């Protein structure tokens, strides 16, 4: 697998609403092979023309959760609010970086014992220490609306695992873009469209913009899903999902059963491991919005098993990413 793309994607902060740096990374990676189509909110779209009538859209979201600077105390500590779903206690005592127009500013989230005891602790209770002594000094370096992410690193773990912030959903972005590149060397009838969408963690508006623009006849959304293979998650809500056991196909009222069945048949035929999760309602991914665009779009959800979602050290198995690419490539060859 092309680890350089995944690593570069993970190193670039991209809190919802501020994803343009990821678009630059994708264009550098894909630009020699595809012409980039963009929009004003930061979606990146790449086309691989076919001669058939099908138009298959593959998407993964490029945004991540984080914080926004909302103010500062008189003695220079930054106030914030959250962007996307998260647990405020995960930030307490953690290093962070603030993304400003002039570069990154580093800080430490204030921690004291009362915070850890407070069960109702929220984003509005967080304060970030950047070393400033006054409000004026803080705002000489930081502006209202600047985004904030965990200050973490991409780490290689044992058994092909990777730990990083933002694997939700840059692991999916990697799968979509790598699949699209491999399909350049394959025979295919369908026009294939690969997109990195913005805003999934907050509004899912990027997926709506993209689907309305490209008018797909069907869509494959690549995101992440919870695993059940560590302490405290033995009875996962949607079933048994483990790292290293392959991508996860979602069976629910939104996901198209015919496409899912074809994916399962191809996986068995090609010897590609896969897993199944079941849910009875919305998928809580971009699939929910793409499904109802225009006259309706048949959609499936292919997920990467992920440990510790929305934490500073999410974990995936690189084998699952490679198997996801192999499965999607097999499907697109036969579409």
Active-site residue, 200 included: yes
How far is it between the farthest Cα atoms of the chain? Answer: 65
Q: Which of 279, 269, 53, 240 is nearest to 261 (CA)?
A: 269
Q: How many CB atoms lie within 10 A of CB 51?
A: 8
Residue 8 φ/ψ, nearest 5 degrees: -65, -40
* CA 301/CA 223 separation, integer angstroms: 7
Residues 21, 23, 26, 28: is their CA dihedral positive or negative?
negative
What tokens were used for 132? 């400033």
**Angle of the 318-334 helix axis to the 167-183 helix axis, nearest 10:** 40
* CA 97/CA 108 separation, integer angstroms: 8
Q: Which of 195, 194, 196, 197 is nearest to 180 (CA)?
A: 194
Q: Which of 207, 226, 332, 233 is nearest to 279 (CA)?
A: 226
SS3 92: coil
* CA 272/CA 325 separation, integer angstroms: 10
Query: CB within 8 A of 260, min separation 6: which ones?
Result: 249, 250, 251, 300
What tokens were used for 199? 């805003």
Which DSSP letter does residue 90 get? G
The CA-atom distances, in angstroms, between 236 and each of 163, 240, 321 are 21, 6, 21
Tokens 């307490």, residue located: 92
Q: Exactly one of 19, 64, 178, 200 is catalytic; which is it?
A: 200
Which residue numbers are catalytic?
200
């Amino acid at each position: 697998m092309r680890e350089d793309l995944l690593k570069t994607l993970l190193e670039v902060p991209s809190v919802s609403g501020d994803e343009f740096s990821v678009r630059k990374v994708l264009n550098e990676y894909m630009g020699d092979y595809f012409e980039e189509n963009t929009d004003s909110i930061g979606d990146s779209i790449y086309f691989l023309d076919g001669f058939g009538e099908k138009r298959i859209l593959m998407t993964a979201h490029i945004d991540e959760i984080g914080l926004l600077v909302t103010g500062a105390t008189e003695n220079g500590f930054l106030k914030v609010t959250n962007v996307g779903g998260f647990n405020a206690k995960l930030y307490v005592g953690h290093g962070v970086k603030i993304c400003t127009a002039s570069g990154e500013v580093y800080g430490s989230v204030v921690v004291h014992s009362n915070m850890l005891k407070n069960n109702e602790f929220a984003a509005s209770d967080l304060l970030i220490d950047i070393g400033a002594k006054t409000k004026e000094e803080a705002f000489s370096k930081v502006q209202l609306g600047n985004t904030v992410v965990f200050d973490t690193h991409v780490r290689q773990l044992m058994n092909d695992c990777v730990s990083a912030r933002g694997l939700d959903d840059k692991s999916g972005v990697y799968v979509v873009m790598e699949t699209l590149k491999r399909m350049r060397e394959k025979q295919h009838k369908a026009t294939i469209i690969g997109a990195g969408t913005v805003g999934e963690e907050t509004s899912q508006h990027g997926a709506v913009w993209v689907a309305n623009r490209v008018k797909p006849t069907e869509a494959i959304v690549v995101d992440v899903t919870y695993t059940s293979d560590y302490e405290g998650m033995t009875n996962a809500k949607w079933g048994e999902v483990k790292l290293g056991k392959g991508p996860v196909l979602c069976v629910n009222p939104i996901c198209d059963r015919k496409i899912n069945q074809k994916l399962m048949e191809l996986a068995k035929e090609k010897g590609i491991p896969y897993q199944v999760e079941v849910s009875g309602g919305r998928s809580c991914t971009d699939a929910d919005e793409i499904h109802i665009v225009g006259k309706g779009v048949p959609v499936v959800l292919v997920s990467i098993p992920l440990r510790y979602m929305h934490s500073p050290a999410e974990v995936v198995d690189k084998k699952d990413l490679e198997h996801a690419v192999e499965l999607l490539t097999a499907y697109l060859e036969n579409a």
